[in-house]
Amino acid sequence: MALLTMDAAKKSATSGTSNKPRRGLARSTSGGWKQVAGNQAFLIPAIVVFIFLFVIPLCQTFYWSLTDFTGYSTDANFIGLSNYKIIMTDPSMLAGLGFTLLFGVGTTLLVTLLAIPLAVQLNKVFFGRNLVRSLWFFPAIPSMAILGLVWRYILSPLESGVLNSTLHDLFGINALPWLSDNTLARLSVIMVGVWGATGWHAVLYTAYLQSIPGDIYEVARVDGANARQQFFGLTLPLLTPAIVVSTFLLMTGGLKVFDLPYTLTNGGPGFATYTLTQSIVVSGVSQGRYGLASALAVLFTIAVALLAFGQLALTKMIERKFV
Amino acid sequence: MKKTVLKLGAAVLAASLALAGCADPDSGKTKVTFLSWTGEEQMKPILEAFHAANEDIKIEASYSPPVAEYIQTLQTRVLSGTAPDVFVIAAENKTNLLDGGHVIDLSGEPYISKVESFNTETYGRDGKAYGLSVSSWAAGYMYNEDLLKQVGYDTFPTTWDDFLVMSKKLQDAGIKPFLESVDQMPTTLSAWIGAKTNTMDGKLDDKIFSGETTFAAEWTPYLEQYNRIYTEGLVSKDVVGLDGDMIRDEFANGRVAVMNAGPWVINALRESSPDLKFKFALVPGVDGGEPFAAGAASPGYAINSKSDETKQAAAKKFLEFLASKEGVQIFHEQTRDVTVTDDFEPEVDPAFEPLASSIRNGQLYLPMIAWQRSEDILNVEAVAQIQRMIQGEITPAEVAKAMDTKLAGS
């Protein structure tokens, strides 16, 4: 009974908050095709920006990927698919693939699992709420490169490292090789990434939570739903649009990560925390192999696009089921 | 009315001319653009002295910090056709700048003959000189004199075996013997390869890059020796997660007896630990080799081949000043670099003296700058594989083999 009522309340909430115009109504009140064309004209600046900042650079990158462009001269020779062949045959070119995927998926899952409950807590009324929200949001303000340098000192594997000495003083634990053991180094990079992103995404979820009418919780409470039932029956389904946005941003950002692992571990030990983006930057800028770096970037763009669209399709499917 | 308009026009013209005169006090001078590797604070006195001595030339300096940002900035400017008239040629861009014909040949210029031939050859090719390098740097081992005395050492070991014996004694005495950052090519390996190259009259890399020999054949014995310090448990494998600053802090606080270091740590150590007694030493020799230092000629000043003749002539005057006694003296006072010109003797910190003689004699080696192509590709691969070796994931032979594979594919 409680769940039935919650379902009704949820439908009422979603229909109440929906701003989608009805097609027929839009046409009848828009003033015909001229008005529609006028409305579409507002998209032109965005399209122009998209073309100049995405389509043209992407086409250029594809062109360079078929050449031996060094970055020092525009006199590049057409070499066909040689750069793609090198990527496929040289294992070190794809050394960053594993950790890039691990970081993208790991941070997406962990941040989502932490940010939603955090947002629910931050949405409640309590003394000092704004201060607590600010503290959680703080890690999102400095660049990840700076955070990486700070955390490099905190996670130093030496006995004198900040975390190691604290753990030793408090619990008598011996120094842990945070950044010098492959597994711990990977874990450290992911945990710092999660720490840096959780607050920002919690604020995103908080914004969505505030758009959920309070009376549906009132109805659910009257109907006897406990806190857990309210969370899983109301909050979580109604947060699905926010989850779609948040996970999309996390996944694409995670796959493109460069600054955090670069400053925290410089891709090491060995290639343990090496990322594909670092591979692209190092090949292009440091090694003057822009053609090769472009080929890697093209493949990377395609892979990220496929993953992102796949994720979008999946989350849309879930959204349709719950909302 | 007509008179008023004329008066107004004349006034505007006069004001414009006056403003033009005010706006550009350097009009009539030859302007030379310069992208500096050295910071603005250090470069400013040099430029002021140059301008005072050359009133017909104006150096328009811009600054970009080394290394990656400088390389990228210069690369972008070269590609877009806005490269400065004078810029820096370094290990990281030498091959691309020379292959692309972006720098002019400075051979035969009188100021080139004033610097050590080691420095000229570093930024040269086929007997030609493309960069003016007025200083060099060297790195070796820095040791805590008090900690070594505790285990009975007044002088630093000169062979690797003796160094390992000393490390064991330090370890038994509860002192961390040695830390070396391996986030770049280890100083120890660079010095050993340098010592070997030195006995071969500088031909080792020629042979490797011509295919006459391989990294596997030449580097494996040294990698095996280097790995001993980790496999024998004398040094923690945690070095793969440390950078130079972390190790310097350990040394400054007396928590490690020996570290790899260069002159750049001296001032920081004197400030943070004024009571610390330290000294530099050459890297102990291995397999009968001589003790040696890692190091290289500092980046050289180069002239843009696309600049017009007037600017190139003015740029050459600038380089001439940079190599002059006055220019080098100011440069040394500002940077504390060990300069290598024939008419100026730089002051050297007494602790650094054991390595300073290597600089004066050009007895330095850095693989990255000695390799003939694919320098950064090989360096990135070597550093990553050496880290894996230290962790025990691969053998020394596999490190060298990976470098051969990389060279073959690049």
Domain ranges of chain B: 2-133+299-336, 138-296+364-409
ipTM: 0.78
B81: closest chain A residue by CA:
A73
3-state secondary structure of B172: helix
Phi and psi at B218, nearest 5°, equal -90, -35
- Whether residue B241 and residue A271 make contact (CB cut-off 8 A), yes or no, is no
Query: Which one, of B172, B100, B163, B166, lies nearest residue B130 by Cα?
Result: B100
Mean pLDDT of B380-392: 94
On whether any CB of chain A is under 8 Å from the CB of B392, the answer is no
Chain B residues with beta carbon closer than 8 angstroms to that of A178: 241
Fold that domain B2-133+299-336 belongs to in CATH: D-Maltodextrin-Binding Protein; domain 2 (3.40.190)
Interchain pair B241, A266: CB under 8 A:
no
Which tens digit of pLDDT belongs to each residue from B306-349?
999 999 999 999 999 999 999 999 999 888 889 999 999 999 99
**In CATH, what number does B138-296+364-409 get?**
3.40.190.10
Rounded to two decimals, what is the model's pTM? 0.83
Q: What are phi and psi of B87, to 5 degrees?
A: -145, -175
Supply the pLDDT for residue A22. Answer: 44
The Cα of B33 is separated from the nearest Cα of chain A by a number of Å equal to: 19
- Least reliable range by pLDDT among A86-100, A110-124, A286-300, B222-236: A86-100
Q: Which residue of B has its CA nearest to A85?
A: B409
List the domain boundaries for chain A.
96-274
To the nearest whole number, what is the mean pLDDT of chain A?
85
- Percent of chain A at pLDDT exceeding 90: 47
Mutation to test the A interface, candidates B240, B253, B306, B404, most A Cβ within 10 Å: B240
Q: Do B255 and A274 touch (CB under 8 A)?
A: no
Which of B71, B238, B409 has the CB atom closest to A180's CB atom?
Answer: B238
Q: Chain A residues contacting B, CB < 8 Å?
A: 70-74, 86, 89-90, 92, 95, 152-153, 156-158, 160, 175, 177-182, 185, 265-271, 274, 282, 285-289
Candidates A26, A51, A48; CA nearest to A39 is A26
Model confidence pLDDT, tens digit, residues B98-130: 988 999 999 999 999 999 888 999 999 988 999
| B363 close contact with A: CB closer than 8 A | no
Which of B51-55, B78-82, B300-304 has the least mean pLDDT?
Answer: B78-82
Same fold, B2-133+299-336 and B138-296+364-409: yes
Q: Residue ranges of the alpha helices (H) in B24-116?
A: 40-53, 68-79, 94-99
Average the pLDDT over A52-73 and give the result: 91
Burial class (CB in 10 A: 0-12, 13-18, 19+), A177: buried
A96-274 fold: MetI-like fold (1.10.3720)
What backbone phi and psi angles, to 5 degrees, belong to B64?
A: -145, 125
* Helix then strand then coil, % of chain A, to nearest 5: 75, 0, 25
Contact flag A152-B243 (C-beta cutoff 8 Å):
yes
Decide: B390 and B237 in contact? Cβ < 8 Å.
yes
| Residue A74 vs residue A45, higher pLDDT | A45
B35 and chain A in contact, CB less than 8 A? no
Model confidence at A168, pLDDT cuts 50, 70, 90, reads very high
Unique residue bearing structure tokens 């990434």 = A193
pLDDT value for A29: 52
